């Protein structure tokens, strides 16, 4: 059995697990859309809503994939299925890519729904092509998956795994240029902001919403995708065939 076939079998297995868990699927797919609708009515002003939409499109795929992946891989570690897989021909990257593929697919569904509701019902004024937004959202979902895998290695329990979410998420949001533009931050904070992948994701999403794949768009996307690959490689290093 080739590595690609094992990866596909793993992705299929994860999707089958999700199929048995309707509530999780409903939460993954519906919550971002419901929050977007809530945001629309809270803001009540189309101009501000149009400015906030790209930010939420950035945050949600990342957040949901981070949480779901870190809990799912932690379960693999604690129930012994990971040990079983580490004694099998499955390669570490097969497992990680299987997760990336399965949850990436979920991210597509999630983003498709939230975008179609935003563009129709909520009248999100997009003055550019749609596909650059989808590209950024997907890269961001993969980044969430990869970081979730990595962080799950440092959690012993599901309680700890959930607590990693604010640790990873909130500094990236505060320093990502949402509340205060990045060039107006204190220099130290701007430096930190420069090395956080979410800063680039948010910038790419704003560019995509304003003008499509123009300016620094591809550089930003490359940074996000590169960070996802780096996190996957680091995540693979935390999977050990032999454990104490």
Partner 1 sequence: MMSCAVAVRDLRVERGRRQVLHGVSFEVPRGSVLGLIGPSGCGKTTLMRAVVGVQTVAGGTVTVLGEPAGGPGLRTKVGYSTQSPAVYDDLTVTENLAYFAAVLGAPKTDVARVVAEVGLEDAAGQTARTLSGGQKSRASLAVALLGAPELLVLDEPTVGLDPVLRNELWGLFHRLAAGRGVTLMVSSHVMDEASRCDRLLLMREGEILADDSPGTLRDRTGAADLEAAFLRLIADREAVSDR
Instruction: Tell me: does residue 3 bind partner 1 (CB under 8 A).
Output: no
Calculate the alpha carbon distances from 91 to 15, 78, 118, 207 in Å: 19, 19, 40, 38
What's the angle, vertex CA 76, arms to CA 65 and CA 30, rounded to 5? Answer: 30
Q: Which of 21, 26, 109, 123 binds partner 1 (CB under 8 A)?
A: 21
Query: If you search the block for the tokens 């790209």, which residue do you land on?
Result: 54
Interface segment toward partner 1; rule CB under 8 A; list 32-40, 80-88, 205-213, 227-235: 80-88
DSSP H stretches of helix in 128-216: 131-152, 158-174, 187-195, 197-211
Applying CB under 8 A, which of residues 56, 59, 85, 173 lies at the interface with partner 1?
Answer: 85
Regarding 97 and contact with partner 1 (CB under 8 A), the answer is no
The reply to whether 80 sits near partner 1 by the rule CB under 8 A is: yes
Residue 85's contacts (CB-CB under 8 Å, 6 or more residues apart) are: 76, 95
Residue 242 touches partner 1, criterion: CB under 8 A = yes
For position 22 contacting partner 1 by CB under 8 A, the verdict is no
Instruction: Using CB under 8 A, pick the residue from 10, 33, 53, 69 that binds partner 1.
Output: 10
Min separation Cβ 125 and partner 1, Å: 42
Q: Exposed, middle or buried: residue 141 (CB in 10 Å: 0-12, 13-18, 19+)?
A: buried
Question: Closest CB to partner 1 among 88 and 163?
Answer: 88
The reply on whether position 84 binds partner 1 by CB under 8 A is: yes
216 is a site residue for partner 1 (CB under 8 A)? no
Taking contact as CB under 8 A, which single stretch among the options 16-24, 42-50, 110-118, 136-144 is the one that binds partner 1?
16-24
Q: Which two tokens stand for residue 122?
A: 């909520």
Tokens 């779901």 -> residue: 68
Q: Which is nearer to partner 1, 15 or 35 (CB)?
A: 15
Least Å from the CB of residue 74 to partner 1? 14
The number of CA neighbours under 13 Å toward the Cβ of 3 is: 7
Does 157 sit near partner 1 (CB under 8 A)?
no
* Binding flag, residue 87, partner 1 (CB under 8 A): yes
Alpha-carbon distance values, 239 to 85, 95, 126, 221, 235 (Å) = 11, 10, 42, 27, 7
CA distance 60 to 67: 11
Among 17, 48, 157, 163, which residue sits at the site for partner 1 (rule: CB under 8 A)?
Answer: 17
List residues near partner 1 by CB under 8 A: 1, 5-6, 9-10, 12-13, 16-17, 20-21, 79-81, 83-90, 241-244
């Amino acid at each position: 059995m080739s590595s690609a076939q094992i990866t596909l079998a793993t992705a299929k297995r994860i999707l089958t697990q999700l199929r048995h868990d309707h509530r999780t699927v409903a939460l993954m797919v519906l919550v971002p859309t419901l929050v977007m609708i809530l945001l629309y009515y809270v803001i009540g002003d189309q101009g501000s809503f149009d400015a906030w939409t790209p930010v939420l499109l950035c945050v949600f795929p990342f957040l949901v994939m981070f949480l779901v992946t870190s809990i799912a891989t932690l379960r693999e570690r604690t129930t012994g299925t990971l040990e079983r897989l580490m004694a099998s021909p499955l390669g570490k990257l097969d497992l990680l890519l299987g997760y990336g593929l399965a949850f990436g697919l979920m991210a597509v569904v999630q983003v498709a729904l939230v975008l179609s509701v935003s563009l129709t019902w909520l009248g999100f004024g997009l003055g550019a092509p749609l596909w650059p937004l989808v590209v950024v959202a997907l890269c961001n979902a993969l980044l969430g998956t990869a970081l979730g895998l990595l962080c799950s290695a440092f959690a012993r329990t599901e309680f700890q795994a959930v607590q990693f979410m604010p640790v990873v998420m909130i500094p990236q949001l505060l320093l990502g240029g949402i509340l205060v533009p990045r060039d107006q931050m204190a220099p130290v904070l701007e430096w930190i902001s420069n090395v956080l992948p979410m800063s680039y994701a948010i910038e790419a999403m704003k560019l995509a919403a304003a003008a499509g794949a123009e300016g620094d768009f591809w550089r930003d996307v490359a940074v996000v995708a590169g960070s996802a690959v780096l996190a996957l490689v680091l995540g693979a290093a935390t999977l050990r065939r032999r454990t104490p």
